[in-house]
Homo-oligomer: A and B are copies of this chain.
Amino acid sequence: MTSIAGFRFSAAAAGIKKNGGLDVALVVADEPVAAAGVFTRNLVRAAPVDVAEERVSRGRLQAVLVNAGNANACTGEPGLRAVLDTTAAVAEALGVEPSRVAPASTGVIGKVLPTEQIVAVVPTLVAELSADGAGRFAEAILTTDRWTKTATAEVRQGEQVARFLGIAKGAGMIHPDLGPQRPLQPAGPPHATMLAFVVTDAVVDVQLLQQCLERAADLTFNACSVDGDTSTNDTLLVLASGRSGVTPSAEELTAALVEVCRPLAREMVRDGEGAEHAVDIVVRGLESEAAARQIAKTVATSPLVKTALYGKDANWGRLLAAAGRAGVPFDPRVASVRVGDVCICERGLPTGAEAEARAAVIMRENTYAIELVLGEGPGEFTYVTSDLGHGYVDVNAGYRS
Query: Which residues of chain A have a CB within 8 Å of any CB of chain B?
Result: 41-45, 73-76, 109-110, 172-173, 177, 183-191, 227-232, 301-304, 307-308, 310-311, 313, 315-318, 320-325, 329-333, 335, 345, 348-350, 388-390, 392-393, 396-401
Q: How far is the CB of A281 from chain B (nearest CB, A)?
A: 15
**A390 to B398 alpha-carbon distance, docked (Å):** 12
Q: How far is the CB of A393 from chain B (nearest CB, A)?
A: 5
- Main secondary structure on A side of the interface with B: loop
Which residues on B sit within 8 Å (CB–CB) of A307? 392-393, 396-397
Tell which of B110, B184, B230 touches A329, judged by Cβ atoms closer than 8 Å: B184
Q: Could you tell me if B187 and A333 are in contact, using CB atoms closer than 8 angstroms?
A: yes
With A74-B350, A396-B307 in contact, do A231 and B44 touch (Cβ < 8 Å)? no
Tell which of B41, B332, B398 touches A311, judged by Cβ atoms closer than 8 Å: B398
**A349 to B189 alpha-carbon distance, docked (Å):** 8
With A227-B303, A230-B325, A304-B229 in contact, do A189 and B74 touch (Cβ < 8 Å)? no
**A335 to B76 alpha-carbon distance, docked (Å):** 13
The 9 closest A-B pairs by CB, nearest first: A311-B397, A44-B324, A187-B332, A189-B317, A307-B396, A43-B324, A230-B325, A42-B324, A109-B317
Q: How far is the CB of A100 from chain B (nearest CB, A)?
A: 28
Which residues on B sit within 8 Å (CB–CB) of A303? 227-229, 303, 388, 392, 396
Which residues on B sit within 8 Å (CB–CB) of A323? 43-44
**A389 to B185 alpha-carbon distance, docked (Å):** 34
**A247 to B109 alpha-carbon distance, docked (Å):** 56
With A321-B229, A324-B43, A332-B187 in contact, do A315 and B393 touch (Cβ < 8 Å)? no
Residue from A323, A397, A399 whose CB has the most chain B CB atoms within 10 Å:
A397
**A5 to B302 alpha-carbon distance, docked (Å):** 43
Q: Could you tell me if A350 and B110 are in contact, using CB atoms closer than 8 angstroms?
A: yes
With A43-B332, A393-B310, A396-B303 in contact, do A73 and B401 touch (Cβ < 8 Å)? no
Instruction: List, sorted by A's number, 15 A–B pairs whose CB atoms are closer than 8 Å.
Output: A44-B320, A44-B321, A73-B317, A184-B329, A187-B333, A188-B332, A227-B304, A229-B321, A229-B325, A230-B321, A303-B303, A311-B398, A311-B401, A313-B399, A389-B393
Tell which of B42, B110, B190, B325 touches A177, judged by Cβ atoms closer than 8 Å: B325
Q: How far is the CB of A73 from chain B (nearest CB, A)?
A: 7
Q: Could you tell me if B304 and A173 are in contact, using CB atoms closer than 8 angstroms?
A: yes
Which residues on B sit within 8 Å (CB–CB) of A172? 304
Which residues on B sit within 8 Å (CB–CB) of A189? 316-318, 320-321, 324, 332
Q: Could you tell me if B308 and A396 are in contact, using CB atoms closer than 8 angstroms?
A: yes
Q: Could you tell me if B321 and A42 are in contact, using CB atoms closer than 8 angstroms?
A: yes
Q: Could you tell me if A232 and B321 are in contact, using CB atoms closer than 8 angstroms?
A: yes
